[in-house]
Amino acid sequence: MIQNACIHWKEGGLECSALWHSENGIAPHKKVVIANDTLTADDAYHLACEGTAIVWRGDFQNARQLLQALVRRIDKPSKKSKRASKRVDKLDGGTSQKTAKDIFNQHRLVQSQRARILGMLLIPCNSDHTISLRRAPDVSQACLEAYGVVSQPYVVSLRELLGVISAHEWRKNGLPILADGDGEPVYVYPHYGVFSPVRGEYIELVCNALLPKALDIDNTAFDIGVGTGVLSIILAMRGVQKIIATDQDDRALACAKDNIALLGLGSQIEIVKANLFPEGKASLIICNPPWIPARPSSTLEHAVYDPDSQMLKGFLNGLKDHMLPHGEAWLILSDLAEHLGLRTRQELLVWIEQAGLVVAGRVDTKPKHPKAFDESDLLHFARAAEITSLWRLSSK
């Protein structure tokens, strides 16, 4: 996150500046121009591609349409790039074979370049989080939830701002995760910057897995990396009496506390700020770590990317010291990294062995999210083969 930095531009012959806000850690742009509704999509695209940011002074809804026009230009390859691609294929005789890891790295590069271009359209906001543009929506509550109280006007990319608005809708409407005893849906309300549990298949795994018998002796569980609190909530609704849930991220801690309070589960679930494990031992320890062993490009990606599998290995290596006798650990993990050539199944099994653990069982499920069926996705080959598993681990 970038804070307390300023972005500068010239407007009406005057030097202007404002605080710069970027949750993705992007530094303030050096080349900045002012634009309004007269700017064409082609001109905006050329400015963005050459690294010139655009502070918008026109109609807000027109800015949204302009952003959509930029998306279309990015996602539709030009005739020139298509010809260049054909020339390369002809020169190498079509024999070049990219590995899965090569394709993954290409995907991340494309996504990074796409985000850079789309992030060039900027919106000025007032110190009360309002926007002084024609037809601008009231985003003050959404920005207050995401950014907190600010004391000065600031500038933010429209793309990030739309993400803040979308997160506010998630937080307002909630996300159904399961049904209670009466068949009514139970909701969690994700906060901005906290990973939303939209992958329902791993929630089903936790709902249906057989609880370890050790809970009959000591009815205590740990939830490592609580996020929205969804897994702690499921365990509490399955009858686990004491759950200690940990996280390092303040947004996640606040989100989990809110969701747990709304469901009246505060007497069963305790939230603790900690790096992985709390003090003590438990009969059941559950963790859904980031699934991709790669470096996140922003703080918002920490729920998806785990550099060098640090959290995964830290979780495995700490289990023996925190599991009660005959207890179990539930590791929820996708094998997407294996299909992308970023980690092998053998590596995972070796880490489990080196941590003094054995696999007591495993339950698998196929993904149901739309990307698994999108053949236009560069990573479709991996997503279509992906399996999400609940690994039941115990001490040797």
Residue 10 CA neighbour count, 13 Å, CB half? 2
Residue 347 identity (one-letter amino acid): E
Which H/E stretch holds residue 68? helix 60-75
Same domain for 157 and 46: yes
Domain boundary pick from 113, 148, 170:
170
pLDDT tens-digit profile of 93-142? 444 588 999 999 999 999 999 999 999 999 999 999 999 999 999 999 99
One domain, residues 98 and 183: no
pLDDT tens, position by position, 30-66: 999 999 999 999 999 999 999 999 999 999 999 999 9
pLDDT at 90: 46
Taking only the tens place, the pLDDT of each residue in 63-93 is 999 999 999 999 885 554 444 344 434 444 4
293 and 255, same structural domain? Answer: yes
Residues 246 and 365 in one domain: yes
Q: Which of 151, 170, 189 is the last residue of a domain?
A: 170
Looking at the fold, whether 125 and 247 belong to one and the same domain comes out as no
DSSP of 281-300: -EEEEEE---SB-S--SSGG
Task: Based on the fold, state whether residues 165 and 214 are members of the same structural domain.
Answer: no
Domains: count for the chain: 2
Which of 293, 311, 285, 288 has the alpha carbon at shortest distance from 393? Answer: 285
The answer to whether residues 335 and 230 belong to one domain is yes
Q: Find out whether 322 and 276 touch, Cβ atoms under 8 Å.
A: no
Q: Which domain holds residue 303?
A: 176-395
pLDDT of 374 > 50? The answer is: yes
Which of 160-169, 272-281, 289-298, 357-366 shows the lowest per-residue confidence on average (mean pLDDT)?
A: 289-298
Q: Specify the pLDDT at position 179.
A: 67
Q: Tell me, yes or no, whether 262 and 165 share the same domain.
A: no
CA pair distance 210, 189, nearest whole angstrom: 27
pLDDT(300) > 50: yes
Q: What percent of the chain shows pLDDT beyond 90?
A: 82
Q: Identify whether residues 231 and 141 lie together within a single domain.
A: no
Separation of CA 156 from chain center:
20
- The pLDDT of residue 367: 84
Strands 2-11, 14-22: pairing is: antiparallel
Q: Taking the CB of residue 356, how many other CB atoms lie within 10 A of it?
A: 13
pLDDT tens per residue across span 2-14: 667 999 999 989 9
This prediction has a pTM of: 0.90
**Quick check: 255 pLDDT over 70?**
yes
Are 231 and 300 spatial neighbours (Cβ–Cβ below 8 Å)?
A: no
- The strand pair at 388-395 and 323-334 is best described as antiparallel
What is the rounded CA–CA span in Å between residue 201 and residue 199? 6
Same domain, 194 and 156: no
Encode pLDDT of 200-234 as tens digits: 788 999 999 999 999 999 999 999 999 999 999 99
* CB-CB contact of 245 with 269 (8 Å): yes
- pLDDT tier for residue 25 given thresholds of 50, 70 and 90: confident
- Of the three residues 149, 170, 191, the one that is the final residue of a domain is 170
Q: Is 184 found in the same domain as 157? A: no
Stretch 353-378: mean pLDDT, rounded? 90
- Both 180 and 108 in one domain: the answer is no
